Amino acid sequence: MTTGSHRQPTMTAGFALLGAIALAGCANMGGKAPVTNLPTPDAHANLVDARGADRGRVDIFKDGSGLRLELVARGFGAGTYAMHIHETGRCDAPKFTTAGAHWNPTGAQHGRENPMGAHHGDLPNLVIEPDTIGRATLQLVGTRLAGEGGVLDTDGAAFVIHAGPDDMRTDPSGNSGDRIACGVIVTTPVD
Ligand SMILES: [Cu+2]
C-alpha cells in the first residue's frame, strides 16, 4: 500500500548477519602490498566514534540494480542500532551533528513504516548478536552514487550509526538517539 507517489527507491532489507566471519581484508605481511582478489569498492566510509577510534567500515559497490553497501561495525556491544545515510559529508566529533539530517532528496518524512516516508537515507536497523562484530549487506535498488539524484551531491554524504534502534516511523530520525559513529562517504581512488 502506498500513499501518494514518491520516488523512494525500493530497498530490499538484504540484511545479513553472519556468525562466521569472512575476512574482508588481508594481512599485510612483510611490508608488501596486500594481495587480494577482492573487488575494490567504488566508495567507502571509515567509521569513527566520538573519540576518533576506528569503529568499522562501509564499502559501497555499484551493481546492476543500484548500490550495495557492505558494513563491518567494530566495538559495538550486542544490541540494535539505527543506521542512516546522512546528507552532508562531515563527521565532526563528538556529536556528529555536522552530518546533517538524513539524506532526503524528495522531502519525505522519516521511516519506512511512516505513510509519509521514507527518506532515501533510511536503512534497516543493525542487529548485533553477543560476541560478534556487526555485519550487514544493504541493497539500495535504484540508488546512484553520483550524478543526478546520487548520494554524493556537492556536499557529499555520511554514514551514521546511532545509539539506539530506529522505530521506522517517528519523524525525523526514528527516535534513534545519539550519533555514536560516523564516516564520510568518499569515492575510492582508482590506481
Ligand atoms: Cu541517522
180: CATH = 2.60.40.200
Q: Name the residue range of residue 132's domain.
A: 43-187
- Any idea which of 1-5, 95-99, 113-117 has the lowest mean pLDDT? 1-5
| Ligand 1 centre distance from Cα of residue 4 (Å) | 25
Confidence band, pLDDT 50/70/90 cuts, at residue 33: low
| Ligand 1 centre distance from Cα of residue 112 (Å) | 14
According to the model, what pLDDT value does residue 107 have? 95
Between 3 and 62, where is the model more confident?
62
According to the model, what pLDDT value does residue 189 have? 80
| Ligand 1 centre distance from Cα of residue 42 (Å) | 22
Position 105 in a domain: yes
Position 25 in a domain: no
Confidence band, pLDDT 50/70/90 cuts, at residue 191: low
- 63 residue type, one letter: D
Is the pLDDT at 22 greater than 80? The verdict is no
Position 155 in a domain: yes
Position 95 in a domain: yes
> CA 84, CA 174: separation in Å to the nearest integer?
10
Is the pLDDT at 185 greater than 90? The verdict is yes
When divided into structural domains, the chain yields a total of 1
| Ligand 1 centre distance from Cα of residue 181 (Å) | 10
Q: What are the contacts of 2-9 at 24+ separation with CB within 8 A?
A: 3/115, 3/116, 4/116, 6/106, 6/108, 7/106, 8/106, 8/108, 8/117, 8/118, 8/120, 9/66, 9/120, 9/140, 9/141, 9/142, 9/143
According to the model, what pLDDT value does residue 41 have? 96
Position 85 in a domain: yes
| Ligand 1 centre distance from Cα of residue 34 (Å) | 34
According to the model, what pLDDT value does residue 179 have? 98
| Ligand 1 centre distance from Cα of residue 19 (Å) | 26
CA distance readout (Å), 135 to 24, 107, 148, 174: 11, 30, 30, 21
Confidence band, pLDDT 50/70/90 cuts, at residue 147: confident
